[in-house]
Structures are given as structure tokens and as C-alpha cells.
Amino acid sequence: MKYAELVDIYRRLDATSSGLEKTAILTEAFSAADEHQLPLLVKLVRGRLYAPWTSEELGVSSSLTQRAIAKATGVSEAEIEETWRETGDLGDAAAAGITNRTQRTLVDTELTVRGVHDALRELATYEGAGSEERRIDVVAGLLSDADPEEARYVVRTVLGHLRVGIGDGTVRDAIADAFLDGSEEAVTAVERAYQVTNDYREVAQAARDGGRDGLAELDIELFRPVEVMLARKAETLSGGLEDVAAPEEGVLLEYKFDGVRAQIHKRGADVRVFTRRLEDVTEQFPDAVAAIREHVTAQRCVLEGEIVGYDPDTRALVPFQALSKRIKRKYDIAEMASEIPVVVHLFDCLYLAGRALLDESARERLGALDGVLSPEREELERATHRTLPPADGANREKSDGGSSDGSIGSDGEDGAADDATRAFYEAALDTGHEGLMLKNLDATYQPGRRVGYMMKVKPVMEPLDLVVTRAQWSEGRRSDFLGRLFLGCRNPETGEIVEVGRLATGYTDEELRELTARLEGLVTEREGRRVDVEPEVVLEIEYEEIQRSPEYGSGFALRFPRFERIRVDLGPEDVDSLDRVRRLYEDQ
């Protein structure tokens, strides 16, 4: 397949804002692809060359790409940078460079999809001295054979910002339309297959070759992480208890930890640890890996838990912001592990001894978990929990601090939480944890979904998780930093991000430097000292109150917002909703 044909697909996708039209374009492309082309197309329409849980990276920064464009075209880096600043898109700068190039290769080679794909994937294998120059040479070689439009999308793919408006939902619907009947049931089958594989290449091939039966055969595989089940936020403890279960069902109360949510895969002594965003952080947490090897007796399993850091001298918990430094650490890992040791708190079992447990109840999954643990304090523990029995009085045992089996009573006016339940909640907060998780014990595990079978309760007026939509360079001493940030929440009705205020305080110079570095690679448009960015960087924000405001698309504005931390564990799909902002405003 010629790369120009893929570029035509990109252009058509970019030319429409209609989700239905984008789905139709992908459906046509997937249907026409042969068995060799299909997996490449499924990857490249998202501009992703690697699965999210793999450690491979192309290793090509914006500055290296700029040098590659200059090398391929003969246009100066200064001219390329000027175009880049005007358009906010280095892909556009590459297209302009090819149009105005002052040098050409003697023989033009027509680009193919396979050729571009393989050349770019090879970049991740380059290491050591001279690796940067080799990467520049490969990208420059592709650009030398490209026309302006091809150059634009080669560069966008290299940088991971394709800008054609394709999300997971569009790919899902296109696969359902191309290889099934496009019905709601077909979409659900495709989505379920993706949730357990996180690989639309495999899903597309299974749908094409085996239809729904082929999709149903896809299941959990060790060392290929599953999308995690997500919790909804409860405004109050009583409200959360009412929402999470019907009266005849039991509820599990569990400490909500301020740590790194971890999905742990184990086969014998081989252990891999993944974050909720599917990043492989095994190398960054050797102490957690050692604890799992020592205290998990199962030979083959997938477990879920939270990795929590603590101060080795005081034994006090450390906040997530400090622990998160370990996630991206590549050097001096042992030193960092001694500075911030961790304990693994386990709370679910998704797979055991060759059998997936996703369709089993939480009660059965927890039984499987308890059967494979030999806990050790401050190394690996079962998450602190209590069981709240059914509210109909069956098996109910009242006591001051819980029954002999660890359960606590459920009495209370109008279904409200009783004193023992509230005491457990307060104990979690007093210990330094964030609050409680409330789990329906009869519920199955639903990957990737934010469902009412699992709620999280934190103090009222808790911070909001918001995504950066725009930024502005600061003034004075901090003029080299993007320090004035516009923040957005998610409108659940449209799926759009709508702004809810602007942030300018709360960060240290080090934090601001890190924020600027993250945002500069996401710039889509520049106007003076203000830039628009891809909405990817999620921040936890504190504030004094929420006000009505016509200034922002949400209709609300945060009063005195203050930066708390970067949520490296969250993506734009995880930010708080406009509905939640509205509820918090009304409850003030």
C-alpha cells in the first residue's frame, strides 16, 4: 500500500468534524485492507507504533525532528522554527520545508506504508553513541522521498500528534461496521475484546476472521495488561453506600490509598507491574517486585493493588506527588527505592492459574486473592477492609468496632452510614489515606468502565482533576515558563472539554519547569505569548469555591485555584465532569 493512500485517509479524516463521517472513512479503509495491511492501518490511523504497555519509544524529540527536516530540505533550522511557531505544528513546517527545499536526492523512492512503519519502529532500537544522528538520518531519509503532504504526516507520526481527531471509540465503531453488522451488540463485542487485549490490531483481525465468535475467544493474557475498572465519585459516604448496592447485597469498605494503582502479572519468578494507564513500571519498583515474588504463592496470576510509599525513618505515608517521581525514574533506581520504599496493598484478582475471573463476582475474586497471599507487614498486604452485610438484617452483627469476622453494622436512619462505618472512614483519613472505596460484592469486573458497582468517597469539596487546554508564558522571573494555565473539565453529553478557570499559583520552579516541558511538546497553535495545547496533561487542583461565570465554556469558574500535583496516572478521559462541577457548586 502506498503511503500516499494512507495520507489521503488522513486528509479526509482531518477535513471533517463529524464523528459519523470519520467512522465511515475508517470503515471503508478497514474493509478494503488485506490481512497484511489491516494491522498497519489500525495502528497508523491513531499514529501509534507501539502498544501503551511496551517500553519502546522512538526517541525523536521536536528538536531532533527539526534537524531532520533541515537535513532533508536544505532549509535552515531558523526558517523551520519560524514556520513552526507561526503554525504551531512541526508537521506543517515539514510540509513547507519540502515545498521550498533547496536540495533533492538523485533518486526518489516512493514511500509505502510498510516502509514508513518499519523505518520508524527501527528508531527505538538505536542505542549508545551516535544513536541521535542515526535517528535524524532515518527521518531525513523518509522526508527526502516524501511530497509535502506525506512529510506533514510522517513528522506528526514521529512526534505522536497525528491531529486527525480519531479516538478509541471511532476505531471501535469502524471495526464493528467493517466486519460485523454495526449494531449496538456488535460495538459491545468489539469494546469488550479491546478491554481485555488493549490492542485494536488483534481485535480487528479477530473480528474479520472470526466475527463475534472470534472476538469472544480473546481473553486475558499474562503480561498484556487489561484496562482497569474505574470508580465513580460519591459526594457523601451515605450517598455512596446507597448507590453502590441494592439493599439485599453486601458492600466491601476498603481504604482508598494515595499511591500508584498497579496491575501485577506473575508467571513463576517473572513479574511485571503496570500502571492504570498501562505503562510498564517494573524496573522502577524492584522492591514491589521482590515482595510479590516472596509473598504471592500463585505461579500464574493477575492481581490488582496500590503501591504506596512511606518515609523509611518515620514510617509516615508520602504523598503521591513524591512517589510519582519513581514512575519515570530510569537511573539510580535503587537509591530512590531506599529513599521512598513502598508497600503493596492488594485488592483484586483478575486471573488465576489459566482462568480469567472477570465474570466472577467480587466476592469470589477476593476469595481467590486471599488464597494466594502470604502477607508481610510493610511489604505486601491485603488492602485494609471491612464488610458491610446486607441491609435486610440477615447475618447482621452489631458491635462497637465490628463483628468477629471483621464486618461492621449497617444500621442508620434512611439508609445513612452508621457510626461504625463512619468511624472506619475517619480511621482511613486519620491514617493518611484519601478515603474509602465502596464495592458491590456481587459485581463482576468491568474493564475500562466507570460503574456504580464501585464508588470512591473522599472529603467533601475535594480537589478537582482537570486538564490543561491552553497556556500562557509567565512574566518577570518566571517568563521562561508556561505558568498561566487554562483548565478544562469534561462535558459528558458531548464528550468535549470545556474550560472552568485559569491557574497561576501553587507550583514551585521545579514543578513549573516540568509542566512547561510536558506542555511544549503538545502545542497545537501559537498566538503571541499564548499557546493552545493537546488536552493531555491532567492536574489536581484545589480551590476556595466555585462561581458562576460566563467567561468559560462550562459556565463556571474556580475561585483562587491552586496547583496541587500533576496526575501522571490520569489521562484526559479521566478528568472530572461538568456534572460534578455543577453538583459541587450547588452543594457549597
Catalytic site residues?
Answer: 256
- How far CA 178 is from CA of 13, 197, 362, 416, 544, in Å, comes to 17, 19, 35, 50, 50
In three-state form (DSSP H/G/I as H, E/B as E, the rest C), the secondary structure along 148-191 is: HHHHHHHHHHHHCCCCCCCCHHHHHHHHHHHHCCCCHHHHHHHH
Helix (H, G, I), strand (E, B) or coil at 227: coil
- How far CA 309 is from CA of 277, 319, 345, 346, in Å, comes to 19, 8, 11, 14
Contacts of 343 (CB under 8 A, 6+ apart): 291, 307, 308, 310, 378, 379, 380, 381
- How far CA 538 is from CA of 157, 470, 576, in Å, comes to 23, 12, 10
Amino acid residing at 338: S
Contacts of 78 (CB under 8 A, 6+ apart): none
Look up cell 544522528; give the residue: 133
* Cα-to-chain-centroid distance, residue 29: 27
Q: How far apart are the first and last CA of the chain?
A: 59
Spatial distance between the Cα atoms of 391 and 250, rounded to a whole number of angstroms:
8
Whose CA is closest to 350, among 360, 358, 342? 358
In three-state form (DSSP H/G/I as H, E/B as E, the rest C), the secondary structure along 263-305 is: EEEEECCEEEEEECCCCECCCCCHHHHHHHHHHECCCEEEEEE
Taking each helix axis from N to C terminus, what angle separates 168-179 and 19-32, rounded to the nearest 10 degrees? 50
Longest dimension (CA), the chain: 86
Taking the CB of residue 279, how many other CB atoms lie within 10 A of it?
19
Spatial distance between the Cα atoms of 234 and 451, rounded to a whole number of angstroms:
12
Contacts of 435 (CB under 8 A, 6+ apart): 256, 425, 428, 429, 456, 457, 458, 459
